[in-house]
């Protein structure tokens, strides 16, 4: 046992030694320690360097507000994790941790040089300095910032651990297992409400659980003993679920909350057994009780950041809970009574302590108690300086003037090895404000407390501004009864012995004889912002707290300003001479404490990251060496290389085969919507630009769908299956959106129409066979069918059977070739496909993928919605005037086609481009200009599709160009990084302008 472990407590098992490693050195702690308490028990205070000035920093607190003791754990493994607070992580055998943000070591730190040039690094330094010269950005500023900024290291390997999500519902959710949370849970559960209690520590009890003092008694028991009994009873209640090691991350509207449960973080690496590491709870609660407690405020004075300077209540917790004394020669610096508990506790264990109190007097029992124990108290005094490099060794104090605005008299130096500070308490209102709750400012102790507005959400205990034991118990009981509509509880007649007074003297920035510019009075320890920075920001004209915060980076570190926000506000108010309550506070955003990425994504990793949709023919494609591309969630064959063929060669071969003999494409992914109802034809008339009423049964028609703003939205072929029955196809990516858009119009604008829509995309598989030999292949598959142009004309459909299985054949073409599509129920898709391949063998049928499909349609100038259009193209821009009905009174988007903007002649319009060098293939997305000499060079358009056509034996491209319609034959330039490519505007149909091939 080390000399700092002075006290035996039941929370730390001193028979079970745990060895761990910090910054390369081995230490021992005990079962029940946190990393921080174990380090302190070894006398280690210095645990890191500050962010900007690289000043030595020590453990300051014992909870989630810790700004300094931020560690990297499990270094050099795939489990390494940065930004772990030493105050929160439970010690386990073999834990390896190291300081962050210090190089080469915590004891010798090169960045510490910033500390000596700190006068040159004022607030807004980064904004001011790194502005110019511009050329310095890439080579000097950015690498410098990257090197010096950042906290910790990310793992370089995938996270091997499992994470989980769980949805739960409950009547009452209670956040925080301190005294208020325990009282509330007991009342709720005993009144037949399904209750969940979550607590971020591994045990319940909050700060009352280590309170063993004659001055604090409940029903004549020590408050800790009373609470022990309550917890024992609590654990027997049936409808109460207690979740320890579970911290609330976010409180969203309608009582939807996220909480993170740590399941294995406290276990040694070899005991984790591959189980779940963390579980994210998604909780929907009928009622929420927030009992998150309060955090102690530090005090702002010169050099208030040395290792060994800690929060007073944390010093007490280390002593009474973990049995560790943070020093043997303690000084307490306070403005309120609560720090006297720490003094009494230290003194009772025979440890030396003196108190500096900025108040003039206090008459409470606890102060009397301290005086009786012989604690020396310096009233009306303040600390003006501290000394000691790697740990505090002495302080200097002076008397305060009558009004507290200045220091008077002589300096007095006292030696110490630990300075415990207390500036009063700040309610943890984060949850309340996250949920949308507002705050009131309470003048007498300068705190923001929640305004209750929601009937399904209350705050109890010290997060609600009740700081004294008696208030906490009685008010919690009263509020919970009212909230849960309970008439009486076992807590109604609780007797509480209390010994503090609310007397407090608040000075946000303590005065000094040293000039302000030479003082380092830290407000935000993690981001190194000082009182001086705040004042500078105000002098420079920043007024809003949100702006000051960003300019000085106060409250913007990983602790989200838990310790700093109030002081920043207070100093702003004092400097600007306004009331603090009028400034408002900053908005707290989730998460309250950082979440791991693992817990956010849960099981949605790897192959579960997104849904993968495969057609029924997928397996065949895989076996035949297809390379796939993602189209939305679909996997579509992209091309089918033979041996070591690349993309280009494969596509050239596939394209040539499709036009020379026969090609086959899996078109199953196209969206299919079954449309039925007596008004189906009228409906199509309204959603497509062309006319549909006269389409005969058994006929197919291509349709273009616009948005109400006149821009092309989707396209596809629709077939009339019967009098009141159509089958619409959509683009693969647009299927879901088209269905939802059509539903929208049907339900909201045209409810009078008798039309029903059903998505049947997954119901059918489609094999599309094209090429001059396609008719012969079809004839072999369907020997009874007459495929002559008269019996089965272009743009028509017929029912057919393959071995008793019904299917539909559509004679439609997306490639400009003679072409048939066979639709069959999905489960027969693969056999149909295999049959086509088998029968097509003698015609050298060639499977082709999406890349070839794109090339074939580009040769014909057919658009691809989403590639040649981008939501800013009208059918007129696409030179598709022929598909826009002049006769129809109305259709979606019609009126927009003659708005002043859409009739402009200099809009970007779809054209063909031919490169002067027929072997030069343009890059898709490349910009097009007409004059490279006139600066600035005006962009007149861009390339949308570009290929080398094996059928034309030259490069072809589609592009959108300003006033393109009138530019046929004109020369343009496509400037590339190292050359200019000369092109000529052409017709967008490159092949078979007369459309003869579809009758081949």
Partner 1 sequence: MFLINCPYCGERDQSEFSCGGEAHIVRPKQPTELSDDQWAEYLFMRKNIKGVQFERWNHAHGCRKWFNMVRDTSNDKIHAVYKMGEKPPVE
HSE, CB side, 13 Å, CA atoms: give it for residue 67: 31
Q: Which of 254, 444, 644, 936 binds partner 1 (CB under 8 A)?
A: 254
Q: Which of 273, 487, 747, 978 binds partner 1 (CB under 8 A)?
A: 747
C-alpha distances out from residue 969 to 881, 911, 975, 988, Å? 21, 11, 19, 12
Smallest distance, partner 1 to C-beta of residue 904, A: 13
Which residue is associated with the tokens 């991350």?
249
Contact between 886 and partner 1 per CB under 8 A: no
HSE, CB side, 13 Å, CA atoms: give it for residue 811: 23
Smallest distance, partner 1 to C-beta of residue 744, A: 6
Contact between 890 and partner 1 per CB under 8 A: yes
Smallest distance, partner 1 to C-beta of residue 715, A: 22
d(Cα 704, Cα 696) in Å, to the nearest integer? 19
Smallest distance, partner 1 to C-beta of residue 711, A: 11
Smallest distance, partner 1 to C-beta of residue 881, A: 18
Considering only the stretches 19-27, 299-307, 740-748, 779-787, report the one whose residues sit in contact with partner 1 under the rule CB under 8 A: 740-748
Smallest distance, partner 1 to C-beta of residue 742, A: 11
Give 210: exposed, middle or buried? Use CB within 10 Å, 0-12, 13-18, 19+.
Answer: buried
d(Cα 74, Cα 95) in Å, to the nearest integer? 7
Q: Which of 490, 492, 743, 754 binds partner 1 (CB under 8 A)?
A: 743
Which residue blocks in 158-311 are alpha helix, DSSP H?
179-190, 223-234
How many C-beta atoms lie closer than 10 Å to residue 865's C-beta?
Answer: 21
Residues 368-407 as x/- pattern, contact with partner 1 by CB under 8 A: ----------------------------------------
Smallest distance, partner 1 to C-beta of residue 765, A: 25
Which residue is associated with the tokens 């004294």?
468
Site for partner 1 in 200-219 (CB under 8 A): none
Sequence-separated (6 or more) residues with CB below 8 Å from residue 970: 984, 985
What is the distance, to the nearest Å, from the Cα of residue 612 to the centroid of all Cα atoms in its chain?
23
Smallest distance, partner 1 to C-beta of residue 666, A: 28
Considering only the stretches 93-101, 384-392, 558-566, 894-902, report the one whose residues sit in contact with partner 1 under the rule CB under 8 A: 894-902
Contact between 900 and partner 1 per CB under 8 A: yes
Contact between 737 and partner 1 per CB under 8 A: no
Residues 693-732 as x/- pattern, contact with partner 1 by CB under 8 A: ---------------xx-----------------------
DSSP string of 770-833?
A: ESTTHHHHHHHHSTT---STTTS-TTEEEEEEETTEEEEEEE--SSSSSEEEEEEEGGGHHHHH
Structure-token pair, residue 545: 């707290």
d(Cα 394, Cα 909) in Å, to the nearest integer? 79
Which residue is associated with the tokens 């859409």?
902
Structure-token pair, residue 424: 């009063």
Q: Give 26 or 748: the residue with its C-beta nearer to partner 1.
A: 748
Considering only the stretches 212-220, 273-281, 537-545, 738-746, report the one whose residues sit in contact with partner 1 under the rule CB under 8 A: 738-746
Q: Peptide bond before 591: cis, by omega within 30 degrees of 0? A: yes
Q: Give 104 or 751: the residue with its C-beta nearer to partner 1.
A: 751
d(Cα 542, Cα 124) in Å, to the nearest integer? 11
Q: Which of 138, 403, 889, 969 binds partner 1 (CB under 8 A)?
A: 889
Check: CB of residue 531 under 8 Å from CB of residue 299: no
Q: Peptide bond before 104: cis, by omega within 30 degrees of 0? A: yes
Q: Which of 219, 241, 475, 896 binds partner 1 (CB under 8 A)?
A: 896
Sequence-separated (6 or more) residues with CB below 8 Å from residue 976: 923, 926
HSE, CB side, 13 Å, CA atoms: give it for residue 347: 22
Structure-token pair, residue 749: 């604008």
Check: CB of residue 330 under 8 Å from CB of residue 420: yes
Q: Would you state the torsion angle of the CA atoms of residues 345, 346, 347, 352, taken in this order, to the nearest 10 degrees?
A: -170
Q: Which of 253, 444, 515, 978 binds partner 1 (CB under 8 A)?
A: 253
Smallest distance, partner 1 to C-beta of residue 888, A: 10
Q: Give 192 or 740: the residue with its C-beta nearer to partner 1.
A: 740
Check: CB of residue 626 under 8 Å from CB of residue 840: no
Contact between 894 and partner 1 per CB under 8 A: yes
Sequence-separated (6 or more) residues with CB below 8 Å from residue 681: 692, 693, 695, 724, 726
Q: Give 516 or 709: the residue with its C-beta nearer to partner 1.
A: 709
Smallest distance, partner 1 to C-beta of residue 886, A: 12
Q: Give 119 or 747: the residue with its C-beta nearer to partner 1.
A: 747
Check: CB of residue 593 under 8 Å from CB of residue 247: yes
Q: Is 222 helix (H, G, I), strand (E, B) or coil?
A: strand
Contact between 252 and partner 1 per CB under 8 A: yes
Q: Give 2 or 676: the residue with its C-beta nearer to partner 1.
A: 676
Q: Give 141 or 256: the residue with its C-beta nearer to partner 1.
A: 256
Considering only the stretches 389-397, 739-747, 831-839, 958-966, report the one whose residues sit in contact with partner 1 under the rule CB under 8 A: 739-747
Q: Count of residues binding partner 1 (CB under 8 A)? A: 23
Site for partner 1 in 421-460 (CB under 8 A): 436
Sequence-separated (6 or more) residues with CB below 8 Å from residue 299: 333, 334, 335, 383, 421, 422, 423, 510
Q: Which of 229, 744, 786, 881 binds partner 1 (CB under 8 A)?
A: 744
Q: Is the dihedral of CA 948, 950, 952, 958 positive or negative?
A: negative
Contact between 587 and partner 1 per CB under 8 A: no
d(Cα 640, Cα 644) in Å, to the nearest integer? 10
Q: Give 189 or 705: the residue with its C-beta nearer to partner 1.
A: 705
Smallest distance, partner 1 to C-beta of residue 745, A: 8
Contact between 751 and partner 1 per CB under 8 A: yes
Considering only the stretches 199-207, 724-732, 745-753, 939-947, report the one whose residues sit in contact with partner 1 under the rule CB under 8 A: 745-753
Longest Cα–Cα distance of the chain, Å, equals 115
- The backbone region for 374, taken as left when phi is positive above 0, alpha when psi lies in -120 to 50, beta otherwise, is left
Contact between 275 and partner 1 per CB under 8 A: no
Smallest distance, partner 1 to C-beta of residue 479, A: 22
Smallest distance, partner 1 to C-beta of residue 885, A: 13
Q: Which of 841, 895, 904, 993 binds partner 1 (CB under 8 A)?
A: 895
Smallest distance, partner 1 to C-beta of residue 751, A: 6
Structure-token pair, residue 891: 């259709």
Considering only the stretches 43-51, 362-370, 395-403, 741-749, report the one whose residues sit in contact with partner 1 under the rule CB under 8 A: 741-749
- The backbone region for 699, taken as left when phi is positive above 0, alpha when psi lies in -120 to 50, beta otherwise, is beta
Contact between 256 and partner 1 per CB under 8 A: yes
Contact between 871 and partner 1 per CB under 8 A: no
Q: Give 756 or 999: the residue with its C-beta nearer to partner 1.
A: 756
User: Which neighbouring-strand residues pair with 725?
Assistant: 676, 722
Residues 282-321 as x/- pattern, contact with partner 1 by CB under 8 A: --x-------------------------------------
Contact between 899 and partner 1 per CB under 8 A: yes
Contact between 905 and partner 1 per CB under 8 A: no
Contact between 165 and partner 1 per CB under 8 A: no
Check: CB of residue 484 under 8 Å from CB of residue 287: yes
Q: Which of 156, 363, 587, 748 binds partner 1 (CB under 8 A)?
A: 748
Interacting residues with partner 1 (CB under 8 A): 252-256, 284, 436, 708-709, 740, 743-744, 747-749, 751, 889-890, 894-896, 899-900
């Amino acid at each position: 046992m080390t000399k700092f472990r002075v006290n035996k407590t039941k929370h730390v098992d001193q028979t079970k030694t745990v060895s761990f490693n910090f910054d390369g050195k081995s230490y021992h702690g005990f079962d029940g320690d946190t990393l921080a308490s174990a380090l302190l028990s070894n006398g280690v205070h210095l645990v890191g360097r500050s962010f900007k000035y690289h000043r030595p920093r020590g453990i300051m607190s014992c909870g989630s507000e810790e700004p300094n003791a931020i560690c990297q754990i499990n270094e050099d493994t795939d489990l390494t994790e940065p930004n772990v607070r030493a105050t929160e992580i439970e010690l386990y055998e073999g834990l390896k941790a190291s300081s962050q943000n210090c190089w080469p070591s915590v004891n010798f730190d090169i960045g510490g040089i910033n500390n000596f040039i700190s006068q040159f690094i004022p607030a807004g330094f980064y904004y001011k300095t790194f502005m110019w010269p511009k050329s310095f950005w890439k080579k000097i500023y950015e690498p410098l910032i990257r090197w010096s900024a950042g906290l910790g290291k990310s793992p370089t390997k995938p996270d091997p651990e499992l994470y989980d999500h769980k949805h739960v519902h409950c009547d009452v959710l209670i956040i925080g297992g301190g005294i208020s949370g325990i009282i509330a849970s007991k009342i709720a559960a005993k009144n037949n409400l399904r209750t969940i209690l979550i607590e971020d520590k591994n045990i319940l009890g909050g700060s009352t659980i280590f309170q063993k003092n004659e001055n604090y008694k409940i029903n004549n028991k020590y408050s800790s003993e009373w609470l022990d009994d309550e917890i024992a009873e609590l654990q027997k209640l049936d409808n109460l679920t207690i979740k320890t090691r579970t911290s609330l991350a976010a409180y969203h509207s309608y009582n939807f909350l996220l909480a993170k449960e740590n399941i294995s973080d406290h276990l040694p690496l070899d005991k984790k057994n591959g189980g779940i590491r963390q579980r994210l709870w998604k909780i929907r609660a009928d009622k929420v009780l927030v009992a998150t407690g309060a955090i102690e405020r530090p005090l702002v004075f010169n050099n208030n950041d040395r290792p060994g300077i800690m929060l007073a209540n944390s010093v007490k917790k280390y002593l009474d809970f973990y049995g560790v004394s943070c020093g043997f020669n303690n000084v307490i610096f306070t403005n309120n009574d609560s720090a006297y508990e720490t003094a009494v506790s230290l003194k009772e264990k025979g440890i030396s302590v003196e108190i500096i109190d900025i108040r003039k007097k206090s008459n409470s029992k606890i102060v009397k108690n301290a005086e009786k124990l012989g604690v020396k108290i310096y009233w009306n005094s303040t600390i003006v300086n501290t000394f000691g490099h790697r740990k505090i060794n002495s302080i200097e104090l002076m008397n305060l003037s009558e009004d507290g605005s200045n220091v008077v008299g002589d300096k007095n130096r006292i030696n110490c090895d630990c300075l415990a500070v207390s500036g009063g308490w700040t309610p943890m209102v984060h949850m309340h404000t996250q949920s949308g709750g507002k705050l009131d400012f309470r003048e007498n102790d300068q705190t923001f407390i929640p305004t209750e507005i929601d009937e399904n959400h209350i705050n109890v205990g010290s997060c609600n501004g009740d700081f004294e034991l008696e208030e906490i118990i009685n008010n919690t009981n009263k509020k919970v009864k009212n909230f849960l509509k309970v008439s009486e509880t076992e807590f109604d007649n609780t007797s509480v012995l209390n010994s503090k007074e609310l007397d407090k003297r608040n000075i946000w920035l303590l005065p000094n004889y040293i000039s302000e510019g030479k003082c380092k009075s830290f407000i935000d320890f993690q981001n190194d912002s000082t009182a001086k920075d705040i004042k500078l920001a105000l002098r420079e004209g920043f007024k809003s707290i949100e702006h000051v915060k960003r300019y000085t980076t106060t409250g913007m570190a990983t602790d989200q300003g838990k310790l700093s926000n109030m002081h920043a506000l207070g100093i702003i108010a004092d400097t600007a001479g306004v009331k603090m309550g009028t400034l408002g506070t900053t908005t707290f955003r989730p998460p309250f404490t950082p979440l791991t990425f693992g817990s956010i994504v849960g099981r949605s990793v790897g192959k579960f990251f997104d849904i993968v949709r495969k057609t029924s023919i997928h397996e065949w494609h895989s076996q035949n060496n297809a390379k796939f591309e993602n189209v939305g969630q679909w996997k579509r064959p992209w091309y089918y290389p033979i041996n070591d063929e690349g993309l280009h060669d494969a596509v050239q071969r596939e394209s040539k085969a499709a036009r020379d003999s026969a090609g086959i494409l899996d078109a199953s992914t196209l969206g299919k919507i079954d449309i039925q109802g007596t008004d189906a034809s009228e409906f199509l008339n309204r959603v497509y630009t062309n006319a549909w009423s006269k389409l005969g049964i058994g006929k197919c028609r291509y349709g273009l769908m616009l948005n109400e703003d006149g821009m092309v939205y989707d396209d596809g072929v629709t077939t009339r299956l019967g009098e009141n029955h159509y089958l619409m196809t959509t683009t693969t990516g647009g299927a879901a959106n088209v269905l939802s858009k059509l539903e929208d119009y049907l339900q909201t604008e045209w409810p009078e129409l008798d039309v029903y829509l059903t998505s049947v995309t997954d119901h059918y598989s489609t094999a599309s066979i094209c090429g001059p030999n396609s008719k012969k292949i079809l004839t072999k598959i369907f020997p009874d069918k007459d495929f002559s142009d008269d019996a089965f004309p272009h743009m028509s459909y017929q029912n057919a059977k393959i071995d008793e299985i019904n299917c539909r054949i559509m004679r439609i073409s997306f490639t400009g070739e003679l072409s048939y599509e066979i639709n069959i129920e999905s489960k027969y898709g693969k056999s149909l496909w295999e049959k086509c391949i088998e029968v097509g063998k003698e015609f050298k049928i060639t499977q082709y993928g999406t890349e070839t499909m794109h090339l074939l349609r580009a040769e014909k100038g057919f658009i691809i919605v989403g590639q040649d259009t981008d939501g800013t193209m009208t059918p007129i821009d696409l030179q598709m005037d022929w598909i826009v009905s002049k006769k129809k009174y109305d259709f979606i988007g019609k009126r927009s086609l003659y708005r002043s903007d859409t009739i402009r002649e200099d809009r970007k319009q779809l054209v063909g481009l031919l490169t002067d060098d027929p072997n030069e293939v343009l890059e898709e997305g490349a910009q097009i200009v007409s004059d490279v000499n006139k600066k600035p060079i005006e962009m007149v358009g861009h390339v949308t599709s570009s290929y080398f056509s094996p059928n034309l034996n030259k490069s072809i491209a589609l592009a959108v160009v300003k006033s393109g319609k009138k530019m046929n034959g004109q020369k343009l330039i496509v400037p590339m990084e190292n050359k200019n490519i000369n092109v000529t505007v052409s017709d967008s149909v490159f092949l078979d302008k007369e459309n003869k091939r579809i009758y081949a």
